Chain A
């Protein structure tokens, strides 16, 4: 079936590059449950922002193949309701100015990483330094959220649905890996960033960051493979920079 779909789409797309990609896709189709899709974005009819002082950057992150968690044979978890699939893998993309600092900005309004269907939702998120994050339990069972990350160690202990979860303030930049002690498969990654110019990509890797002052930046991408890749990017006012990130 997927092969047919690929073949039919190939005849509709004249571009030779797409054909090559589709061919590669066919090759890897069976191996990866997460389909690797790279599409060139044709932003025809691009709407320039009215604010000429700020620019935008948009593109697609090649998310790369992400192996799902291998549930070991010994891993048995008894849950009251079925475990739902985790969030799709996404990347975090942000800009760091090559020279000059960050604007003094208020921290993000309260961010929430919920536990729902025995998964952290969202699976990946990003906040500015100083932001507080809550971890509401939306399941009918206890969760016990903790992290040993050097960025921020915390251990919320067990609490159930409806109980107020304490807000954790992240005042240092870095990667925070969040686990549930009870459900070993649950994990979430929180990036604490100095930069206010960041976004979490779409499921297909597409991203757009607006309101970026013109200047030279390093475009950093935290991939699902937990690798961070860097690229140079120059933002011009009133312009939308088109830049893709390869895996």
Chain B
């Protein structure tokens, strides 16, 4: 995986994870804020309603107690006065009531007359109010809420039942109904708080979804099974809407059926907000991911380009192109790297130049030996075969040619011959004019140094003849070989010396060379002894050579 794709994917992953995390956090935060808000609204609603209701309840209880202990009502009830409703209406004339009913000692309702709130269907009251509550004979006042139909509308009433008694003597029950305002929803922020009163299987107030109403009315199917005055829960309608609600018991410890104040909020608008928020965050995330991807690609390129240049330059250097240089640009780190690379390339180039110069001025074997430390600088006695090869008729060749031509001609010849020598593991010792001096067995011996030298000489002749086919004026060479023990080492000044061999055998080889005719290879006796019978030779008359007192036996290699 490339750096670029890795960076790209990494950036993408970071952005996606950050987006997801912020989405989660934001939603959770919102959810808890909303829940707290709803809770606060519910508490406000129920506490304000309950405070008002508590005052109203107290007033109502005081009033009904006062009315129920009226001595006139008592006296009339005691006598089963047929005009009991009229007497009671007279007694209640200053009371606050929507309807009232009288019950006798056994709890049976006395038939009402006009003025007792005749429009109230008392069968409905009786169905909503158990007779146990109506027969409150212990002097306590029972308080409850009922929802009654009045001219086709459901209306909530506070209903109170008090014993008609005088000094502990119970003669009947007074049931008083007071109109109460149906709880109405209030607009708080953008969430509409709905509220309703539920009593005796009926609900009155704000419109609520049917499934929630059903649950509230039947007091079943809601997940707020926890008992208590205040119950909070959430309800999912079949339509997929979620409602948070709280219901507060309005008449604890009463014989009347439980009446609940319900506050409810639909989370629809909140859910929509949550979804919108999710979209916004997701969109932001996508944009951020795109930007991060672009940045990652750009940055990767910014980083990768110098790296690619570096790789290319390094490869070129490995291939031997030490002239490679990197532009010193970019970040501080990259420019430092480029500088270091350039320094390294310059160093390598310098070393390579030294190396090539060394190889030019000395034989590669010697150069390698020197570098590797094989060559003993102090000098040694070695068995070496020395070869000399020079051009026959060189003087004639150079006449009438300009120096460049001569140098080119020589260089061409020398290069070709050098290649043959090196192919035969020979060491070019020096070039002197048109002559080449080569060593076999120094600085390293390969065992068959003399034979290789002879074969090399023959190969040189073959090579020269091959080359002669392409040139206008053929060059003919003579080659002399001599073998024997000689001193090998670096000879010269302390800081400028050459690896070479010295001895009379060297002179002998030079003499044999100068004696050899063009296309002839002359060897001395020692060489002949060293080579096998595979190389045919023929003796020539011993040569009287300068510097040698005796005529030296010499042999011509038969081609």
Contact = CB atoms under 8 A, between A and B. Distances in A.
A72 B79 contact: no
Contacts of B79: 148-150, 177
Instruction: Name A's interface SS.
Output: loop
A147 B79 CA distance: 9
Which of B65, B75, B81, B139 is packed against the most chain A CB atoms within 10 Å? B75
Nearest to B71: A184
A90 to B, nearest CB: 19
Given A71-B167, A72-B167, A72-B168, A147 B75 contact: yes
Q: How large is the interface on A (under 10, 10 to 19, 20 to 34, 35 or more residues)?
A: 10 to 19
A189 B241 CA distance: 70
Contacts of B69: 72, 74-75, 184
A65 to B, nearest CB: 15
A185 B167 contact: yes
Contacts of A84: none
Contacts, number: 42
Interface string A154-186: 000000000000000000000001011100110
Interface string A87-110: 000000000000000000000000
A148 B71 contact: no
A185 B71 CA distance: 9
A146 B168 contact: no
B174 to A, nearest CB: 15
Contacts of B76: 148
A148 B82 CA distance: 10
Contacts of B72: 146, 148, 179, 181
A184 B139 CA distance: 16
B67 to A, nearest CB: 12
B30 interface: no
Given A72-B139, A74-B69, A184-B69, A148 B168 contact: no
Interface string B197-215: 0000000000000000000
A177 B78 contact: yes
30 contacts: A69-B167, A69-B168, A70-B167, A70-B168, A71-B167, A72-B69, A72-B139, A72-B167, A72-B168, A74-B65, A74-B69, A75-B167, A146-B75, A148-B75, A148-B76, A148-B78, A148-B79, A148-B81, A149-B79, A150-B81, A153-B81, A177-B75, A177-B78, A179-B71, A179-B75, A180-B71, A181-B72, A184-B69, A184-B166, A185-B167
Given A181-B71, A184-B69, 13 more contacts: A72-B69, A72-B139, A72-B167, A75-B69, A147-B75, A148-B76, A148-B78, A148-B87, A149-B79, A177-B79, A179-B75, A184-B71, A184-B167
